[in-house]
Amino acid sequence: MRWDRVGRLAMLFVLVALLYLYLSAGLRTFSTWRQARADNARVAAMQREHATLERQREVLGRQGTVEGQARRLGMAHGSELQYVVNGLPPN
């Protein structure tokens, strides 16, 4: 048995195993980096949407806005009288 060949094969096996470990770690790192970028983009989009919704909530929460929307829907306060006028000439 030639021990120098066995030693070379063992060293080759160790080298291949080390290359595999380094490459798999590098690929996992790259995949994690890509996922983090995608997650950061989603978070930024959600933050923009949240800011927009907060502004809408603030505007819709004002008393004047609520009353204006109710008036456009034909609503009135309980103490108000509503009149319907028919037969007006077209402008």
Query: What is the phi/psi pair of residue 80, to 5°?
Result: -90, 150
17 lies in which domain range? 3-72
Could you tell me if residue 85 is inside a domain? no
* Number of domains into which the chain is organized: 1
Put simply, whether the predicted model's pTM sits higher than 0.75 gets the answer no
Could you tell me if residue 91 is inside a domain? no
Could you tell me if residue 18 is inside a domain? yes
How far apart CA 69 and CA 60 sit, in angstroms, is 9
38 and 30 in contact (C-beta within 8 Å)?
no
65 and 59 in contact (C-beta within 8 Å)?
yes
37 and 43 in contact (C-beta within 8 Å)?
no
How far apart CA 9 and CA 16 sit, in angstroms, is 10
Mean pLDDT of 65-83: 85
Could you tell me if residue 22 is inside a domain? yes
Give me the pLDDT at residue 68, please. Answer: 86
What is residue 9's three-state secondary structure? helix
Q: Is the pLDDT of residue 46 over 90?
A: yes
- How sure is the predictor about 38, in pLDDT bands with cuts at 50, 70 and 90? very high
Could you tell me if residue 80 is inside a domain? no
